[in-house]
A and B are shown apart, each in its own frame.
Chain A
Amino acid sequence: DIQMTQSPSTLSASVGDRVTISCRASQSISGSLAWYQQKPGKAPNLLIYKASSLESGVPSRFSGSGSGTEFTLTISSLQPDDFATYYCQQYYTYATFGQGTKLEIK
């Protein structure tokens, strides 16, 4: 099974900050990676697919990069609506999610 490890588990930041969340795969997954945002009591929402493709309707401050085993989600300028939990997911072999990164207000 492919394991996905996100870091950090919790991130404290302020509105306007640039933040980066990392996701590492236990083996190469090429570019088969998606990122989701989840708010409390809600279903996850797709942000990025194919590692760097921005889903339609998602603000351009979100971006994804990486390939192979190392991936990054970047939010260029944090907005109040961005405080949530973020998950990466590989779909190279079946599917596996990272454990999540909770983005908190500093």
Chain B
Amino acid sequence: KAGVTQTPRYLIKTRGQQVTLSCSPISGHRSVSWYQQTPGQGLQFLFEYFSETQRNKGNFPGRFSGRQFSNSRSEMNVSTLELGDSALYLCASRFSGTGGYGYTFGSGTRLTVV
């Protein structure tokens, strides 16, 4: 079956702009989580959605937001981009909404802010 699909793979934006990233989970998976990966901070949790509801949020400013649609696809948005937002953004999907099992990651979106 198809894996987790993230689009676009690469993105270059200018400071102050906003960006929307997309994640299509594995068919049947209802939970989607987003992570930011940088060389300095490693992988950090952004938020998790399950059945269109945000259930968990990491320690990121309000410029980072997300949503999930009825087909479980998810988007995350970053407004007023800063240079420090340059990172690999990863989403992970899983079937169950509880416990720590079954995460499958996408290949990520590499965002560069100039």
B is a partner of A = no
List A residues at the B interface (Cβ < 8 Å). Answer: none
